[in-house]
Amino acid sequence: MKKILVTGGTGFIGSHTVVSLIEAGYTPVIIDNLDNSSDLVLDRIESISGARAEFIRGDIRSENTLNELFAKHRFEAVVHFAGLKAVGESVEKPMRYYSNNVEGSIQLLKAMDRYDCRRLVFSSSATVYGDPVSVPIKEGFALSATNPYGQSKLTVETMLRDLAAADERWEFTLLRYFNPVGAHESGLIGEEPNGIPNNLMPFIAQVAVGRLEKLSVWGGDYDTPDGTGVRDYIHVMDLAEAHIEAVKSFKPNHGCRAYNVGTGGGYSVLEMIRAFEKASNCEIPYSIEPRRSGDIASSYADPELCHRELGWHAKRGISEIMRDQWNWQRKNPNGYTVG
Ligand code: UD1
């Protein structure tokens, strides 16, 4: 019984990773404060996998909660998702981001140290590349942050690198996600953002079910083939599977390693709209609006290092992404609500 602590395990990427961990023979234990997720996810995970994940409702900033957790279980590794990710909100409430994302990670690392558990997979983001000089993006590109959310991810990355350099007992894998989308193919778990979605895919899906009227396409004058932004959209189950490979790959002298988790290709906003329309048979009304501040023209990964060192590559393409996104939204038009 290889136990893995999953912080933020009821969230979008966390819940899909919990399913993959169970399928791979691990025993995940979830800690989540449910600030941005629902505990109904736990029933759904059980329906999919046949196993009930142990769940602790709590905050990773609480030393007592973490002590209880680590005293009760012997974890092989920690997969650390807990954190906030809305860029706009992070500009308005920076301390909320530094507290949840940075202070939370510090408390977690301290508890891991106390209980002699020093393997961690960190949920990082392509946001750490800021505005990259070129695409595809390689892990060695310069890192920068353009908002407090991005800075919080970068700060934790730096902290983990420094810690691994100072003490070789620590083993860290930083997974830099590109744009996670789609849902589990059962349609039982998926993304349910709080309020109006900031991200493209949940926004399109909510337009399709009539929760939102129309999509605003932020910018039609980028230097891209059709003028709209290009991103590397990765199926959340592919992303979940990258975490399993990361957990398996820890070994002595591992140090701190960063990997891009993306497909290696990009789609424009207009291509995404068309692909969703094809999968759902719904028309998505949209209008081209001015650029969103902070957006870049094009971002996609060079995922070669992840392929070479973790043996991972994305298996699902745009048609699976759209099929599963639509299946989830259609079956759960109002997300995780009861009745
Ligand atoms: C955004 C964040 C990024 C974060 C990621 C987390 C910004 C500027 N970037 O990435 O830091 O790591 O989410 O999930 O917020 N689009 C529209 N209309 C919409 C929404 C999006 O046209 O209503 C366009 C965007 O301009 C972009 C593409 O769709 O070209 C993808 O946007 P989004 O899903 O928000 O992801 P990112 O901006 O890549």
Question: 129-182: per-residue pLDDT in tens?
Answer: 999 999 999 999 999 999 999 999 999 999 999 999 999 999 999 999 999 999
Name residues whose C-beta falls within 8 Å of residue 272's C-beta, 6 or more positions apart in sequence. 200, 201, 204, 233
Q: Which atom of ligand 1 is nearest to the CA of 293?
A: 8
The per-residue pLDDT for range 302-324, each reduced to its tens digit, is: 999 999 999 999 999 999 999 99
In the chain, DSSP finds a helix count (H) and a strand count (E) of: 12, 14
The per-residue pLDDT for range 59-118, each reduced to its tens digit, is: 999 999 999 999 999 999 999 999 999 999 999 999 999 999 999 999 999 999 999 999
Q: Which atom of ligand 1 is nearest to the CA of 153?
A: 12
Out of 89, 276, 292, mutate this one to test ligand 1's pocket (max ligand atoms within 8 Å of CB): namely 292
151 lines ligand 1 (CB under 6 A): no
Domains within the chain, CATH numbers bracketed:
3-182+232-262 (3.40.50.720)
Helix (H) or strand (E) holding 2: strand 2-7
pLDDT at 1: 72
pLDDT at 72: 98
- Exposure string for 120-142, b = 16+ CB within 10 A, e = fewer: bbbbbbbbbbbebeebbbebebe
The single residue listed with the structure tokens 């404060």 is 33
The per-residue pLDDT for range 27-61, each reduced to its tens digit, is: 999 999 999 999 999 999 999 999 999 999 999 99
pLDDT at 299: 98
224 lines ligand 1 (CB under 6 A): no
The per-residue pLDDT for range 205-226, each reduced to its tens digit, is: 999 999 999 999 999 999 999 9
pLDDT at 114: 98
- Tokens for 80? 């650390």
- Residue 338's pLDDT band, with cuts at 50, 70 and 90, is low
pLDDT at 316: 98
- What is the rounded average pLDDT of the residues 7-16? 98
Q: Which amino acid is at 220?
A: G
pLDDT at 337: 81
Q: Known catalytic residue: 233?
A: no
Cβ(44)–Cβ(12) below 8 Å: no
Beta-strand pair 215-218/2-7: unpaired
269 lines ligand 1 (CB under 6 A): yes
Shortest-distance Cα residue to atom 20 of ligand 1: 200
Q: Is the pLDDT of residue 296 over 90?
A: yes
230 φ, ψ (degrees, to nearest 5): -110, 130
85 lines ligand 1 (CB under 6 A): yes
Cβ(111)–Cβ(70) below 8 Å: yes
Rounded distance between C-alpha atoms, residue 307 and residue 96, angstroms: 35
What percent helix, strand, coil does the chain show, rounded to 5? Answer: 40, 20, 40
Torsion, Cα of 234, 334, 197, 312 (10° steps):
-10
Beta-strand pair 230-231/267-268: antiparallel
